[in-house]
């Protein structure tokens, strides 16, 4: 999969690296701002206490 992604990106190696970093940043942005909050509403946090 990563090899196929590397082959379809245009330009020289330095441009491909910049594009991959930008794509990774966009995916992380989408996960943190949309996917994780949406999933969090379905997960019930379990309260735990540490005995002391």
Higher pLDDT, residue 49 or 7: 7
Q: Which H, E and C letters describe 1-52, residue by residue? A: CHHHHHHHCCCCHHHHHHHHHHHHHHHHHHHHHHHHHHHHCCCCCCCCCCCC
Q: Which two tokens stand for residue 8?
A: 């379809």
The candidate with the shortest Cα–Cα distance to 10, out of 2, 20, 1, is 20
Which residue did the predictor score with more confidence, 44 or 14? 14
Q: Is the pTM of this model over 0.75?
A: no
Tens of pLDDT, residue by residue over 17-52, are 999 999 999 999 999 999 988 888 888 777 767 765
């Amino acid at each position: 999969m990563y090899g196929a992604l590397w082959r379809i990106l245009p330009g020289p190696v330095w441009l491909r690296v910049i594009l991959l970093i930008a794509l990774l940043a966009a995916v992380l942005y989408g996960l943190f701002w949309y996917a994780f909050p949406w999933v969090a509403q379905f997960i019930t946090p379990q309260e735990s206490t540490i005995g002391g």
